[in-house]
A = this chain, B = another copy of it.
Amino acid sequence: MKETYIKEFRPAELNNPILIEGLPGLGLVGKIAIRYLVKQLKAQKFAYLYSPHFPYFVLVNRKGSVRLLRGAFYSWKNPTGGSDLIFFTGDSQSQTIEGQYEIADRILEFARNPTVSTIVTIGGYRVETEAKPKVYVAATSPEILNKAVNAGAVVSGSGSPIVGTAGLILGLARFKKIDALCLLGETRGYLPDPMAASSVLEVLKSAFSFDVDMAALKEDIAKAEKMVQRLQTIEEKRALQAEETRREEDKKTTYIS
């Protein structure tokens, strides 16, 4: 394997499909969103992306079997007759600069085959707020941008960078004559953030007219919030103890001198 390549192991006959991408990144927003969609919609895996620019280890699956790091494509037939959906997520982003460009390029090439009309990429946008996460949007054309704006997204500020595959797919899309937009959910980014993913999914559902039951994601959000509270409690205790220790040591210093 000298280059990134995509192996399609099941033909996916799709109707005017939209490709939605979310790799690991800030707050895992994109990966959480895609995994949730795949699970809720029972999407079918149909292709893998492999790359020598992924980290050089393999993962052990259940039952001791082994696999390379990879990306995976899933298809979903829209029962209402609207656009079918392709989902893409994976274990990792590229570890090299050239690999970042190569992987985005291969995803776009692949998207041209089943004649994908639109690509949506998902990522996180770092903020230090605890308010309900806003969703920022950037796009290759005003038409597709407005779809997301009408669904509640805020136009991304001029000059802000979109890092990694989510950004490069948009940057390279115009060379392949594919429309693309990027949805970035606000996140503090330290921990997996299902709340940010939820905000992105609300925009996505509304903009592309498909429905997903959000109940299970609400449970994940509740769990994540409990986790954050637990970490805060631990951190506060640690700070109190550190303060205590400092005082004890100040006393000792006094005795010595």
Contacts and interface: CB of A to CB of B under 8 A. Distances in A.
A150 to B, nearest CB: 13
Interface string A64-98: 11111100000000000000000000000011111
A161 B57 contact: yes
Nearest to A51: B101
A162 interface: yes
A171 interface: yes
A170 interface: yes
Interface of A: 1-2, 52-53, 55-69, 94-98, 100-102, 105, 137-142, 145, 155-164, 167-168, 170-172, 175, 180, 182, 250, 253-254, 256-257
Given A52-B98, A64-B139, A96-B98, 7 more contacts: A58-B162, A58-B170, A59-B162, A60-B138, A63-B155, A64-B155, A66-B140
